[in-house]
Structure 1
């Protein structure tokens, strides 16, 4: 036994003599000692914690080249390659981590909707609960500053730009046809069910170099990564029926949403100004499949809808009404993957295909068109440190559009275009400190219809002045091919161009947010043509130009008054263009100089109800009266709307929702259509463009089936 003990002592002595001492000091960039830092040799248990003076010392049996790891909350984890034998009396500088709640966020030109955003202007469920929005994503976005509410259209108009100047993306991949089919002077709505999306980002300008081919704005929507529970949603509405289902599995989940809309029963109760032969009928389905891989997430999003309508529409130029018969089929599939290649490198890639077909009858004439769109995108994100990240990637768009017009007086006229757009982009995210951030980006792209390579620089800067306030600036140039209405007749038009200059101030504290933003947009190369309307025999050029400048203010408060949440938006815009067939630079017909929106939601505990009111105001919009000598000098009367939404919890997970628009029953006039020729009194006759009905009524019963009894309860919204 004594012999064994001596051997053990000898071995321990040998091991003791082989231990190497590692010692040093940890400080920050101001040379102030940091205590509590965990320091160790990677892959071993050898290490120590720094003292109040920043000193550390420990012994290790490791030899040669090793990795020394230093970690402490609120500081970047640091790994250093060292030679253990010679590593003594070294001073190590740790950098403060930028991943802190009070770090600056560049907010110029961007509104975010989603419960996990630091600068959320809308919660995801606001799409449902905003009075007057009727679960329409775009209608909810139209309550934000910088947007124009164009009642006869329904699409998203941003800061003096037409609706075609805004692009929509799902999980980073473009959607070429984001709106339902409609006819002239009847508003459309977007195709997406809010049920399937977790957050959204709406840019009013100055957006990232990752996105392009949009002169004004991008709307980014991200589908839910991982649903919280198995859930079934059933909706019975005055307009139709809907059902949604989400099922969770071990490493995957599947969601779908199906709806059927038929306006015929509703219009039997609520008289319409529109002369319908067959009111709008639509059936749609959307689905998202998710699969969690070892280091990433794969998602597959699929949607299909069919819409049909048949109506007789008045036209000032014809004695009899014009019959329009529309059938639309739309299919869209989007696959995306986001994951890690290594600890520092992330990959995001996706592929989409869209197919859209319209079959339109105009009296006895026929207009048929089809559009096929592909989009492929590959993006990498390299995190060199918390202070410097680099995004870079490439994408390709392939669009094929064909249209055929057949009249009783002549044979079919066929036209269309093919366009392949390619782009490269890179953007650096630089954090100089938690208070100072800079994004530098550049995008290079080419469109086959133009056959010209363009470079678009983008820059944005943010500075945090105090704990709850910051300002941001942004600049960028943007190019977009001519919209489909022109490109199908002349597929060789040049890019339209715009430059954005944005200055933003934001105050953001718990439950309150103030945003003040001023901007200037300069337009070049806008499309002009030489006829009353854009047709196949018009002559087109890129000689148009214009500008938009203005001020947007947004205030949101959910804390001052218990159970009350309200938001106030104000927009002032001065915008003029010389484009289309305009004879001079004037304010276009879709721009209202002043717009105000007030959105309120109040939870009434005793009634188990949420009451919502939305007030909207827009000053008069310009229109051209050919009976006067001044072009586009007349204005409509101002537009006002007060909408009510009331949600009542009938029983746990059963909700009745009632919505009424235009409580004050004001008569809205969106503009006027004038005759092409004078009448016998030497006057151009006109007719007002108005909504189909002064008021819109909606009643729905929504039943959620889930083991989580809090799901769909309004008090938690």
Structure 2
């Protein structure tokens, strides 16, 4: 009996062993490696046979190995966080199966390459921007003016007698300003002849600024050189009052917040009379400059995703100066100013799955007046802009934008009580643009804009097709290259339209190549460009006859812009360096031949530095600007545009002190070293008896500008103004 049991036990053990042996010999060994598309090993990838529990994780070198049962048809799948899953159909019959998988990284727009050619963006919301909004108001010498701060960026030329933006060899009229996507007809205040103007808008009302130096989106037209895009803030977070007391005036702002909405009202009055009575001026004023401005911003959510924004501003300016006529003892009294209104309303919302809509309307009206002794000139300029843009997201890699807009413009100029000229015209535009991420490293943006204006008594019938193409390719984790090409059209200056209805649109063609490197709070970018002008307006001045106008003008601008910003190397320090080289000539207006215009400088250089001093609760800053000599025409010289102004070297300083959590004191001074600046000359219209044209120097209003201000915030909550200056 015992022997029988032993035989049974032995039989069972032998049977089990045979079964285990047969099972083991039937197992298939699966081995392989997992890498990304660049060959880098991926550790921790999950590898498994679908429908089974067989699988393994890849090791530090990307390798994996496991056993599984034979199958005539099986599928092996690999999953790895941040990468697209991969699977492969296999036959599991041989003793060993060797596999190699290359996984593609999942597309993530936050990590994807961005198109940077021709654009500087200041935003609090974007992942990688060159500037923040507060960089604009804390730049020494800018004195809180948006255009003044942007003149420290490459691609711009500082023209002290104007104050407006001149971009890459283009005139100031070639740059257009948009608020929430809607055109602003008169973005600058009025000032005396040959004195700098300021922008009309307070930089604190904007959450983002995009300054393009060329190659911009098909959404925007009527700008040969550049567009400045200003995005107003969304809903405010709390009720507050802001009071600003300054050496040049005062302003007050109040914000009220309610459920799903907010409103902000501001009132500002600038009067330079007390200041200019103390600080010596180069100009002889009859009436010292003053500016009064009021604005209102409304924000209201609509539905779950919609937002309505309404912004309106009303302002006026006044001035009066005595101007000596070249070669005469007589002084002319030049007085003037303007009354300006701007209204803007926009709405945006998600209207369907993967569809969003934004639409808006803007109205501008400006009435300016200039009186020279007993001669009066009154100019009325108004316009409307209506736009609607739909964006469709096809998937996470492709989006399509389609839009239409309509422009209406009216201008009338009256000379005295008898003679007047006026014109009005309508222009319709349509555009489409696609953003395509071919991979996370390669992005394309292709678009086209078309415009049409019917024939009328005031304007020549015209139509245009303007293609735009941009691309960006990421070279590595921190560097990329971008390129842009585009054709741009713009109506000639409104004053030209007053006297000729036979001139068409002017045209420019941009080609841009950009390299950018960003790492650890440092940014380097270099950009080469070429801008070719065609169909520029030319006119001949024939005494006793009407001017002869044509679109026979042309021009060329090319150059290199370099920018470096470093917020890491110096503890509590932040600086940027800009350099621009510009080679440009144009034959337009009454030029007898192709020449460098007076607003173009071959070399522009700037350094901006800001430093936070914790013990002093202060931020100090300095800006150094250099502009090489600009040309001007001296009729006493044989060659046109052969005279040169002096180079401009200017050092500006500022200091912001956090006195309390809600109180900031600010002081700034421009041209600390007191360099004498001169912007060419005004010449007599006719020569004297010796054949010499008399001249008078064009000087800035003052050699230096001093500014002291106190900014106070009142709020129910604890407000820390530290973020506004640090």
Bin of the TM-score, shorter chain as denominator length? 0.7 to 0.9
Q: 1:137 to 1:76 in 2, by over 3 A?
A: farther
Shift of 1:274: 1.3
Q: 1:145 to 1:380 in 2, by over 3 A?
A: same
- Which residue of 2 is the match for residue 141 of structure 1? 150
Ranges in structure 1 where 5+ consecutive residues have no aligned partner: 1-26, 38-48, 55-70, 78-92
Match of 2:452 among 443, 446, 452: 446
- Distance in 2 between the 1:173 and 1:128 partners? 23
- Which residue of 1 is the match for residue 320 of structure 2? 310
Q: 1:277 to 1:715 in 2, by over 3 A?
A: closer
Q: 1:412 to 1:715 in 2, by over 3 A?
A: closer
Asked whether 1:226 is paired with 2:247, we answer no
- Distance in 1 between the 2:694 and 2:194 partners? 18
What TM-score do the two structures reach when normalised by structure 1? 0.86
SS of the aligned residue for 1:265 comes to helix
Match of 2:270 among 256, 261, 284: 261
SS of the aligned residue for 1:466 comes to coil
- Distance in 2 between the 1:609 and 1:514 partners? 28
Q: 1:430 to 1:95 in 2, by over 3 A?
A: farther
- Distance in 2 between the 1:99 and 1:498 partners? 35
Residues 501-512 of structure 1 aligned to structure 2 (within 5 Å):
501-512=511-522
Shift of 1:119: 3.3
- Distance in 2 between the 1:508 and 1:632 partners? 41
SS of the aligned residue for 1:125 comes to helix
Shift of 1:75: 7.1
- Distance in 1 between the 2:498 and 2:163 partners? 23
Asked whether 1:627 is paired with 2:636, we answer yes
- Distance in 1 between the 2:140 and 2:54 partners? 57
Asked whether 1:424 is paired with 2:430, we answer yes
- Which residue of 1 is the match for residue 527 of structure 2? 517
Residues 268-283 of structure 1 aligned to structure 2 (within 5 Å):
268-283=277-292
- Which residue of 1 is the match for residue 22 of structure 2? none
Which structure has the larger Rg?
A: 2
Q: 1:400 to 1:610 in 2, by over 3 A?
A: same
- Distance in 1 between the 2:204 and 2:514 partners? 31
Q: 1:537 to 1:265 in 2, by over 3 A?
A: farther
Contact 1:196 1:255 in 2 (8 A): no
- Which residue of 2 is the match for residue 371 of structure 1? 381
Contact 2:282 2:703 in 1 (8 A): no
- Distance in 2 between the 1:52 and 1:494 partners? 71
- Which residue of 2 is the match for residue 395 of structure 1? 405
- Distance in 1 between the 2:306 and 2:244 partners? 34
- Which residue of 1 is the match for residue 347 of structure 2? 337
- Distance in 1 between the 2:542 and 2:560 partners? 33
Match of 2:204 among 195, 204, 222: 195
- Which residue of 2 is the match for residue 414 of structure 1? 420
Residues 193-592 of structure 1 aligned to structure 2 (within 5 Å):
193-294=202-303, 295-316=305-326, 318-406=328-416, 412-448=418-454, 449-531=459-541, 537-592=546-601
Contact 1:102 1:467 in 2 (8 A): no
Shift of 1:556: 0.4
Contact 2:235 2:300 in 1 (8 A): no
- Which residue of 2 is the match for residue 65 of structure 1? none
Q: 1:609 to 1:716 in 2, by over 3 A?
A: closer
Match of 1:693 among 702, 705, 717: 702
Contact 1:603 1:715 in 2 (8 A): no
**What number of residue pairs does the alignment pair up?**
645
- Which residue of 1 is the match for residue 178 of structure 2? 169
Contact 2:619 2:725 in 1 (8 A): no
- Distance in 1 between the 2:208 and 2:143 partners? 18
Q: 1:523 to 1:271 in 2, by over 3 A?
A: same
Question: Per-residue displacement from partner, 1:605-636 (whole Å, max 9, x unpaired)?
Answer: 11111100000000000011222211111211
- Which residue of 2 is the match for residue 23 of structure 1? none
- Distance in 1 between the 2:43 and 2:395 partners? 22
SS of the aligned residue for 2:352 comes to coil
Shift of 1:690: 1.1
- Which residue of 2 is the match for residue 22 of structure 1? none
- Distance in 2 between the 1:658 and 1:547 partners? 42
Ranges in structure 2 where 5+ consecutive residues have no aligned partner: 1-33, 48-52, 59-78, 86-101
- Distance in 2 between the 1:213 and 1:655 partners? 41
Shift of 1:503: 0.3
Q: 1:441 to 1:703 in 2, by over 3 A?
A: same
- Which residue of 2 is the match for residue 13 of structure 1? none
Shift of 1:117: 2.5
- Distance in 1 between the 2:153 and 2:175 partners? 15
SS of the aligned residue for 1:122 comes to coil
- Answer with 673-682 or 610-619: which moved more: 673-682
Contact 1:621 1:635 in 2 (8 A): yes
- Which residue of 1 is the match for residue 654 of structure 2? 645
- Answer with 345-354 or 308-317: which moved more: 308-317
Contact 1:609 1:714 in 2 (8 A): no
Q: 1:356 to 1:317 in 2, by over 3 A?
A: farther
Shift of 1:314: 2.2
Contact 1:74 1:100 in 2 (8 A): no
Question: Per-residue displacement from partner, 1:140-176 (whole Å, max 9, x unpaired)?
Answer: 0111000111110111110000001011000011111
Question: Per-residue displacement from partner, 1:659-699 (whole Å, max 9, x unpaired)?
Answer: 10001100011111222222233322222111011000000
Contact 1:97 1:386 in 2 (8 A): no
